[in-house]
Amino acid sequence: MTREKSDLANRPSSKENSLSPVLLGIVCALGVMAFGWISHSALLPARPQNENTFYNLLTQGFRAGQLNVITQAPPELARMANPYIPASFAPYSTAVYDLSYYHGKLYLYWGITPVVVLFWPYTALTGDYLSDADAITIFLSLGFLIAIVMINTIHRRYFPEAPAWLALICILIFGICLATQEMEWQFSAVYQVALSSGFAFTMASLAAIGQAMHRSKRQILWLLLASAAFGLALESRPSLLFGGIILLIPVIQVWRADGRSSPMRTVTTLAAAAVPLTLVIFGMLLYNQMRFNSPFEFGVRYQLNPDQLGPVHRFGLRYFFFNFYFYFFEPLRWAWHFPFVQTIPDVTFPSGYSPIGKSFGGILLAFPLVWLALAAPLAWRGQLSESATTLHWLVIALFLLFVAETLTICLFADSFPRYAMDFLPALLLLSVIGIFALEGKFRNSLSRRTVRMGWSLLLIASVALSLFGGIAALADVYGFGASVMVSQGEAGNAIPYFQKALALNPSSAQLHFALGSAYHQTGWDEQAVAEFEKALEIDPALPQAGLMRENVADYFFDTGQWSEAIPKYEKAIEISPRNGALYYNLGRALFKTGRVGEAIPQLKQALDHQPSLAADGNLTDNNDMAWLLATSPDLGQRNGPLAVKLAEGVCKKTDYRETATVGTLAAAYAEAGQFDNAISTAQKAIVLARQNNQQELLQNNQVLLALYLKHQPYHAR
């Protein structure tokens, strides 16, 4: 009997310590439904038809015998000196955005695995086209199913004494974190197809490596499958390349055990681990050579992307520490309202860096349970059985995969939470092993209860933070997509998506502001005001607070609610004290409510900050205010210089052709003591009245002229 068999013989193997297939099936079904819901809910109504998505366009290209997508590149790009400048391809951005343009053709810089294993077969079998959301759901579900099998196998093979409920918790942890990660993705689109495909085949490779390390009679077959699966992962995400080091772990295991006695076995194992992946890499390099005349060019240098201004270097050591901090240690931003965490604000980037995607915090802080990965080595400490040794190699493989993918992603010139999918599964599996290891290490009832309480608290915190953070991130997805629609002139279509975002995060002042702006653009001002006031109630210091307060005040003014508008304008002025339009409208509102004396200093401030308001403001109101400021019987309501400024502005705007406004200017000049101007202007008003046959105005201005000739201003009685 081998040591492994002897070791396992002394371990419990009762049915109560095994998860039932029915329960595993239910968990898997729940996972598939969750992934499907998230994938489809993140899509926008403006998405292209399935046949026009990038992977389907490439499928059509392959079927037509070409390596580029079926879509023809705009011929205008070929005539441009630099078609990669955003201004150059902007007129065609809907069709070419983020494709690679080279020698008059459009290519995908993402790997082709999704096309080969899913999109093309689906089209060939059904005659229809698969949506990106369905592809993401399929790949995530496949990866999750493999993770369920792996965790269940780890439980039965290495920790049979652990209760079945612990294995179930570990599976749920993996699924929740995976779903939360998906919620942080900006859109269900070509990016996520590649990521989810890479995840699925990386998990398949890990599972096959785990089987191969048990040195069964089918070890070579399992290694061949592991190598082929990692090749498919690599052709989904070329950034996974260095993770291929994990294929050497079973080879090293065989070499250490049988190297001297059977060197041919080591060579055979190495060949099984290397040949399929090598063939895939060779095919990938050939594919690049045929497309871009360079085996090492994937098309990233030729992206038509506003964030990338032509050929640039996308990797560098200068990005490492910024990215490492972003992915692992970015602090949480707390809020006193649901969902209690917020996505990180904009930060200062390294030179040459592209904008980062929205995240709610680094993994080590947002999902603290992963710290239990540090306990994984406890699983074999002090054990000499062959089973423990195999677990030892599995932990090393997971650790190497985690390190290799982390180092690669941290060298990239931008950061997105979705990129964490490259290294997160390995870290989660290490955490699962750490939980099992702690369960087995502390057998004393008190110690075990203490340890369980510790990791349970970490679990509760992780699940809560993941769910709350995922909700905040998904709300941002809806909000971001809706904002894109607003920028494209589709404010009406954006409103339902802002509402979806607010249903998830009703206490987001920024989302209320965005929805209010969309309402305002579509003319639904009453709804806009309601949203602006909610935003201000939540966060009075919001950067857009001044704009919102102005819009709210304008709404009350425009609807004739002048008394209500006055305090709104005063609040807006506190935020924007140099905004002449606010003082101007406040002065108008005060005039309309009879508070003329209070309006005078506001109008002075308005014209000091923005003199053009005398001509560009409301001409009717300006004329009425100028007349009252010049002719009011109340001394406290008169101000000649201000009346002159307003009246001059009105007359200049109307080219001195309106009898009433010219007459107002004459009265303003008289109140200001400028009687020569008052006389000449009154004479102009009389001429205009005669020309226009305005008898009443003619008589009034003749009476006023007589006063001005005596150097007397006119004051109403």
The predicted model scores a pTM of 0.77
Instruction: Give how many domains the chain has, as a whole number.
Output: 1
**pLDDT in the model for residue 79:** 85
Tell me how far apart the alpha carbons of residues 271 and 278 are, in angstroms, rounded to a whole number. Answer: 10
Rg, the chain, Cα only: 36
- Which pLDDT tens digit goes with each residue over 386-422? 666 788 899 999 999 999 999 999 998 888 888 889 9
Residue 223 sits at the vertex; the CA angle it makes with 217 and 228, to the nearest 5 degrees, is 140
- Which pLDDT tens digit goes with each residue over 544-579? 888 899 889 999 998 999 999 999 999 999 988 999
Dihedral sign of CA atoms 631, 636, 639, 643 in order: negative
Domain assignment of residue 46, yes or no: yes
Quote the domain boundaries for residue 284.
3-332+345-441
506: pLDDT confidence band, cut at 50, 70 and 90?
Answer: confident
Give whole-number Cα distances, 225 to 43, 144, 145, 269, in Å: 34, 18, 17, 12
Query: Dihedral angle at the C-alpha atoms of 687, 689, 693, 697, nearest 10 degrees?
Result: -150
Closest by CA to 555, choosing from 544, 569, 543, is 569
The strand pairing partners of 303, in sequence order, are: 100
Domain assignment of residue 369, yes or no: yes
* CB-based contacts of 609-613 (< 8 A; 24+ apart in sequence): 609/578, 609/579, 609/580, 609/583, 610/580, 610/581, 610/584, 611/645, 612/649, 613/580, 613/581, 613/584, 613/649
- Which pLDDT tens digit goes with each residue over 679-707? 999 999 999 999 999 999 999 999 999 99
Residue carrying the six token digits 């939470």 = 417
473: pLDDT confidence band, cut at 50, 70 and 90?
Answer: confident
Domain assignment of residue 11, yes or no: yes
Share of the chain above pLDDT 70, in %: 91
265: pLDDT confidence band, cut at 50, 70 and 90?
Answer: confident
**pLDDT in the model for residue 214:** 81
Q: What are phi and psi of 579, to 5 degrees?
A: -90, 105
- Which pLDDT tens digit goes with each residue over 305-314? 776 544 456 7
Tell me how far apart the alpha carbons of residues 422 and 444 are, in angstroms, rounded to a whole number. Answer: 38
Q: What is the mean pLDDT of the chain?
A: 87
Tell me how far apart the alpha carbons of residues 172 and 215 are, in angstroms, rounded to a whole number. Answer: 30
Burial of 71 (0-12, 13-18, 19+ CB in 10 A): middle
Domain assignment of residue 103, yes or no: yes
Query: What single DSSP character describes residue 696?
Result: H
Tell me how far apart the alpha carbons of residues 717 and 439 are, in angstroms, rounded to a whole number. Answer: 96
Q: Please count the other Cβ atoms lying within 10 Å of the Cβ belonging to residue 442.
A: 16
- Average pLDDT of span 186-198: 82
Domain assignment of residue 606, yes or no: no
**pLDDT in the model for residue 259:** 62
Domain assignment of residue 620, yes or no: no
17: pLDDT confidence band, cut at 50, 70 and 90?
Answer: low
Query: Dihedral angle at the C-alpha atoms of 129, 133, 137, 140, nearest 10 degrees?
Result: 110
Tell me how far apart the alpha carbons of residues 354 and 279 are, in angstroms, rounded to a whole number. Answer: 34
Residue 596 sits at the vertex; the CA angle it makes with 594 and 597, to the nearest 5 degrees, is 135
83: pLDDT confidence band, cut at 50, 70 and 90?
Answer: confident
Tell me how far apart the alpha carbons of residues 550 and 576 are, in angstroms, rounded to a whole number. Answer: 9
Q: Please count the other Cβ atoms lying within 10 Å of the Cβ belonging to residue 313.
A: 9
Tell me how far apart the alpha carbons of residues 235 and 110 are, in angstroms, rounded to a whole number. Answer: 8
**pLDDT in the model for residue 312:** 53
- Average pLDDT of span 108-132: 94
Amino acid at 544: Q
Domain assignment of residue 199, yes or no: yes
Domain assignment of residue 709, yes or no: no
